[in-house]
Each structure stands twice: as C-alpha cells, then as structure tokens.
C-alpha cells in the first residue's frame, strides 16, 4: 500500500516541512504520493514532483482549498484516503488543524507529532511537554500521523521525477469561510527551519531592546529570532515568535537563549537543539541545566560584545 | 444560546514529571492535578460570553476518572452553570472523548463548544477537531479572539507566521490558544456556591461509546539527557568554544 503525504505550501511554493514529512514516510516504507490541495498551485505540484522519493503527485486545484480551511481539506483527504495505508502531514498549524478531522471522518485514532518511526505500525512521540517519550503501537487499518519536522532530516528537493495527476475533487462544507489573514513580516530565516536561533526573554524588558540587542546578533549570525512566552505576553514581540510547548518547536544547530530562565514549557520547544548557549545573570536558572555553554553575565553588556566580536 | 466547555484533569503544569522505573508510564501518584490550562481559558471565554449576554448557560463536561469532579467543580466556581462527569476507568483517547462530547452537544443543543487546543499531558491537539468533524460543523482552532455576530462566529486563529480569521456558522467548535484571555481566579464564596451546582454523573456506556482504543502505549522513557554543559567566563571564551569546540559558527 502507498503512503499519502499532504503538501504544506502557500499556493506559490512548497514549504520545507513537506520534505521532512516525506523523510518520515520513507522510513515507514512504500510508494509515496504527495497531495497538493490549493488554488493556482500548479507550481507547488511541480516542485513536489521533484522531491526525492515521491512517485506521484495529486493536484486538487480549486478555490475551496485556497486557504486550507480544515473542513474542506479534511473531506478531500478522507475521500482519497481509500487507496492509502498511511496518511501523513507535517505537525504545523495547518497539519494540526485538519488531520484530526481526517482521522475522525475515517473513524480511526491518530498519532500527533511523531518523532520516530519504529515500524509501519509503531511510532515514538513526545508527551508531557517533551519530558517523556512514548512508543505507541496502533492497530488501525489506516494510520493517520502528523510529523514533528525537526525530528526528521528533509529529503532532497531535487532529483525526483514524479508524475503530476490533476484530480477533480471539490469539497466544501459550507460551514466555514475565510475572512482575512495578517502575516508577520520578516526578512530573517523561518524560525522552525533556521540553523541558528537567537531568543530573548523577559529580561529584555521591552520591545526596543529586542531590536537593539537581539536582532543585530541574529542578523550577524544569519539567525532567526525567537522569544519566550514571557516576552510575548509582555508585548515585546508578536506571538508567532514564541518557542515552546505552545509555540514553535525548534531544533537548530545553535540556540542562544538570552534572558530566558528556562521554564519547562520553553525547554519543550528547544531542548533538542544541537548546541545551547545561555546568557543569564542567574546561574541557578533552569536554563543552565540544558545549556552546553553558560555565560553568567548581564545580557545588555554581553550581547553587544558578542555581536561585535563574532 | 448554550455553551459546552470540555475540561480535562491533568498533572499541574508546574510539576516536573517523572517516568516510572518500569517504563509503563509517568508517575502520577501523589501528584498535584489541575484543570488543563487551555481548558481554563475555554471556561473563562464561555463565562465572558455569558457576561456579555451572548450565552445563557455554560455546561462543563469532563471525561475521566471520578476525581475529575474536582476539575468540574473548579470550573463551576469560575462561572459554569452545571456539570456533566463521564466516569471512565480506561484512559480516555481523543476519538472516544469526541464521540461522547458529540452526544452531549447534540442532546443539550449547544451552539458554541469550547475546548483547549491541547491537553498538556498527551499533547495530542486532536479532540476539538475530531468533534467538529463528527458533528459536521465548522471549527476555529487555536483561537486568540472570538466574536459572535448573529448566527455566526468570527474566530481569529494563531497560525504559523501570523493570524487568520475565519467565519463559522453556529453551532461551531472553538479551541483556545493561550492568548485568548487571562482566566480569573475562583473567589471563596463562588467555590462554596459551586458545591451546590448540579453535577450529573454518567458513563461512556450511556452514550454508547466503547472506550477501548486501537492505540497501545508500549513504553514510556525519559528523554535522553544532555551531557553536562560548562560555564564560560567571558564572551571571548564563548566565541572560542562555539568556533573551535562546537564548530557551530
């Protein structure tokens, strides 16, 4: 039986999270088909066809799928699910939004945010904010999964030569409609896929200090900027920058936490980073227990010095 | 209009969990339990809608062990009107919970069904979506703003990269994100009053739902420990370590 991977995209280009999800599908084993549901998304389908390991791309191109509304997308996926043993999506806000609907429509249980593949029916996933890892076996005929993208290295985006098949399958629940979208503007790398992340916490004291101390260091390193919930709640930065159990899960090569104490919920979002640096004036703060390098210092002095010397 | 709010009894979010030595699960004995933080936000939103005159009655439901009545009482103290406890000895999984909530929502004819976006124990983030699918209605997940307008509700959602607003026909399911509101604290007189509020006790069988899941947890292990880090004395030393030891810059 083949595996269906749902493509994450913005109607113009394929998101890297899809390549990580395909990598998880490869570990399960079997033919990999990618479903592109969107509006004017031919370019996305062509891009998906080039990804390593993909044998077929299904393109459902209709205005009903333009904004990836969960109800419509779930009906579509459940409708094409008949041919597949596994259905995968990235555990992004898009995947988390519609996949449980797919599972319920198919009357099967689902596994969220898998971090490892043991075999085709057995998977690992973090629970309790990443403080434990559960190995779960499912005996469902159809296995519905979302994939924690940071746990799987992406497949190559070039080299594949899958066929693109257009499917005429229009689903609309008529119960929900798109009103508008406000995307935060950023020229920096995307937080979840950045190689380096520089994050600030409550100790930054205000939004101006983020601009003055965190951003120059991030720019010098080509890093994405993250934040703790305290910094978001205090209004220093928008909440899509939040790293943690309820924000984004990141696992970069280097994570620099400045003025972040390291609450359980924050650690849940970054403790799989390869190297963690903490800059904090409190050596007793919990972040010290996960940091590879801990610099006890006032961040208002240490950050400019670090920025100028790197 | 009526609102249904689902609350789950979970380990308190401040508690550092310990995995059992036999790897069968997490040790919950003698551990402080609370309402799942996202569910507290759902209760708060329902109560605010009631205070705004949009909602007439707030029903609080929980599915789980008998002790979950503590969490229902806590929600009633925050402003819920009555509770429904569905006692299940088996671990409740999202699909089964969604089936029970569907039954309750349809029997009670609730217009707005509020849940947390995820429970902090299993971190699934599934139940609300499954419920909406089973009922064939719209969903507004990860909500940071809820506005009821006539027979529709506008929900602003936190998505990767920003915010998205969707308009949903009622009835609809809404799952709460942390930013939606700041839950109030229960006042002592309200805690006393909550003890007198109606709390019906049911079983999954009353709803014709079999709680057995086709998922089996084979083992639970603690995450791999990170090797102990070192303290560096200066910015220069830090840069040197990052360049020459960790080789990440």
Q: What is the pLDDT of residues A251-297, one digit of tens each?
A: 999 999 999 999 999 999 999 999 999 999 999 999 999 999 999 99
Q: Which H helix or E strand runs over B167? A: strand B162-169
Nearest Cα of chain B lies from the Cα of A266 at a distance, in angstroms, of 12
| Chain B, nearest residue to A67 by Cα | B164
Decide if A239 and B216 are in contact by the 8 Å CB cutoff: no
Tell which of A73, A293, A296 to mutate to test the B interface (max B CBs under 10 Å): A293
Beta bridge partners of A256: A198, A277
What is the reported pLDDT for B161? 85
- What are the respective helix, strand and coil percentages of chain B, to the nearest 5? 30, 30, 40
The rounded distance, in Å, linking the Cα atoms of A81 and A4 is: 8
What is the reported pLDDT for A184? 83
The rounded distance, in Å, linking the Cα atoms of B167 and A83 is: 33
Retrieve residue A194's tokens.
């950045």
What is the reported pLDDT for A107? 98
What is the reported pLDDT for A101? 98
Q: What is the mean pLDDT of residues B78-87?
A: 98
What is the reported pLDDT for A304? 98
What is the reported pLDDT for A310? 92
Torsion of CA B204, B210, B213, B218, to 10 degrees: 70
Retrieve residue B237's tokens.
């030393």
Note the pLDDT tens digit of each residue in B89-134.
999 999 999 999 999 999 999 999 999 999 999 999 999 999 999 9
What is the reported pLDDT for A72? 98
**SS3 call for B13:** coil
Decide if A110 and B223 are in contact by the 8 Å CB cutoff: no
Q: Would you place residue A239 in the very low, low, confident or very high pLDDT band (cuts 50, 70, 90)?
A: confident
Retrieve residue A305's tokens.
């010095």
Decide if A128 and B26 are in contact by the 8 Å CB cutoff: yes
- With 0.90 as the threshold, say if the pTM is over it: yes
| DSSP E strands, B9-120 | 9-11, 33-35, 57-64, 82-87, 112-116
Decide if A176 and B139 are in contact by the 8 Å CB cutoff: yes
Nearest Cα of chain A lies from the Cα of B198 at a distance, in angstroms, of 31
Note the pLDDT tens digit of each residue in A288-297.
999 999 999 9
| Chain A, nearest residue to B126 by Cα | A100
Q: Which of A122, A240, A274 sits opposite B161 (nearest CB)?
A: A240
Nearest Cα of chain B lies from the Cα of A13 at a distance, in angstroms, of 15
Q: Which of A136, A192, A240 sits opposite B216 (nearest CB)?
A: A136
- The mean of the pLDDT values for chain A is 96
Decide if A130 and B223 are in contact by the 8 Å CB cutoff: yes
Note the pLDDT tens digit of each residue in B207-223.
999 999 999 999 999 98
The rounded distance, in Å, linking the Cα atoms of B121 and A127 is: 6
The rounded distance, in Å, linking the Cα atoms of B45 and A155 is: 43
**SS3 call for B244:** helix
**SS3 call for B235:** helix
Alpha-carbon separation of residue B169 from A175, A234, B166 (angstroms): 5, 34, 10
Note the pLDDT tens digit of each residue in A157-202.
999 999 999 999 999 999 999 999 998 888 899 898 899 999 999 9
- Compute the count of residue pairs across chains A and B with CB atoms less than 8 Å apart: 250
What is the reported pLDDT for A282? 96
What is the reported pLDDT for A94? 97
Retrieve residue A77's tokens.
């996926």
Tell which of A132, A197, A278 to mutate to test the B interface (max B CBs under 10 Å): A132
Retrieve residue B205's tokens.
């069988």
pLDDT of A30 > 90? The answer is yes
User: Quick one: what percent of chain A has pLDDT higher than 90?
Assistant: 95
Contacts of B219 in chain A (CB under 8 A): 134-135
Tell which of B125, B170, B233, B240 to mutate to test the A interface (max A CBs under 10 Å): B125
What is the reported pLDDT for A162? 97
Q: Is the ipTM of this complex over 0.85?
A: yes
| Chain B, nearest residue to A241 by Cα | B161
Note the pLDDT tens digit of each residue in A111-129.
999 999 999 999 999 999 9
The rounded distance, in Å, linking the Cα atoms of A84 and A77 is: 10
Q: Which of B93, B142, B219 sits opposite A135 (nearest CB)?
A: B219
Decide if A254 and B249 are in contact by the 8 Å CB cutoff: yes
CB neighbourhood size of B101 (10 A):
28
Q: Which H helix or E strand runs over B47? A: helix B37-51
Q: Which of A92, A112, A138 sits opposite B126 (nearest CB)?
A: A112
């Amino acid at each position: 039986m083949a595996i269906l991977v749902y493509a994450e995209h913005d109607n113009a280009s394929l998101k890297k999270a899809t390549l990580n999800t395909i990598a998880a599908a490869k570990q399960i084993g079997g033919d990999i088909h990618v479903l592109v549901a969107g509006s004017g998304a031919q370019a996305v389908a062509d891009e998906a066809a080039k990804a390593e390991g993909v044998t077929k791309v299904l393109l459902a191109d209709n205005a009903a799928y333009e904004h990836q509304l969960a109800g419509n997308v779930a009906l579509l996926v459940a409708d094409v699910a008949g041919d597949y043993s596994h259905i995968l999506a990235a555990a992004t806000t898009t995947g988390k939004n519609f996949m449980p609907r797919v599972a319920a429509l198919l009357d099967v249980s689902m596994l969220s945010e898998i971090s490892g593949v043991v075999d085709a029916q057995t998977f690992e996933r973090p629970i309790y904010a990443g403080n434990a890892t559960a190995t779960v076996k499912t005996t469902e005929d159809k296995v519905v999964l979302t994939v924690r993208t940071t746990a799987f290295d992406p497949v190559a985006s070039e080299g594949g030569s899958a066929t693109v098949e257009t499917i005429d399958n229009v689903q609309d629940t008529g119960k929900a409609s798109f009103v508008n979208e406000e995307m935060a503007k950023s020229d920096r790398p995307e937080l979840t896929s950045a190689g380096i992340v520089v994050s600030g916490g409550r100790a930054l004291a205000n939004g101006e200090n983020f601009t003055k101390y965190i951003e120059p260091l991030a720019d010098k390193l080509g890093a994405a900027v993250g934040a703790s919930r305290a910094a978001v709640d205090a209004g220093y930065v928008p909440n899509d920058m939040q790293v943690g159990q309820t924000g984004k899960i990141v696992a970069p090569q280097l994570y620099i936490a400045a003025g972040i104490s390291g609450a359980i919920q924050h650690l849940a979002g970054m403790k799989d980073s390869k190297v963690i640096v903490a800059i904090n004036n409190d050596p007793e703060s919990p972040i010290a227990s996960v940091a590879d390098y801990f610099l006890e210092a006032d961040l208002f002095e240490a950050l400019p010095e670090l920025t100028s010397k790197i | 209009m009526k609102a249904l709010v689902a609350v789950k009894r979970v380990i308190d979010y401040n508690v550092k969990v310990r995995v059992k030595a036999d790897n069968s699960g997490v040790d919950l004995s003698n551990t402080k339990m609370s309402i799942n933080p996202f569910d507290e936000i759902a209760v708060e939103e329902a109560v605010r809608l009631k205070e705004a005159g949009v909602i007439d009655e707030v029903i609080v439901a929980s599915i789980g062990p008998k002790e979950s009545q503590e969490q229902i009482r806590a929600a009633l103290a925050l402003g819920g009107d009555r509770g429904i406890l569905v006692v299940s000895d088996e671990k409740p999984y999202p699909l089964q919970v969604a089936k029970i909530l569907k039954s309750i929502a349809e029997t009670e004819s609730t217009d707005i069904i509020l849940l947390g976006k995820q429970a902090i124990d299993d971190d699934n983030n599934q139940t609300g979506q499954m419920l909406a699918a089973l009922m064939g209605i719209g969903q507004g997940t990860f909500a940071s703003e809820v506005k009821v307008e006539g027979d529709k509700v506008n929900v602003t959602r936190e998505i990767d990269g920003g915010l998205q607003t969707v308009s949903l026909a009622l009835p609809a399911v809404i799952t709460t994100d942390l930013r939606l509101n700041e839950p109030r604290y229960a006042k002592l007189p309200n805690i006393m009053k909550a003890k007198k509020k109606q709390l019906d006790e049911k079983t999954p069988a009353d709803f014709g739902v079999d709680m057995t899941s086709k998922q089996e947890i084979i083992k639970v292990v603690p995450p791999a420990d990170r090797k102990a880090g070192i303290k560096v004395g200066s910015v220069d030393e830090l840069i040197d370590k990052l360049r020459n030891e960790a080789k990440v810059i």
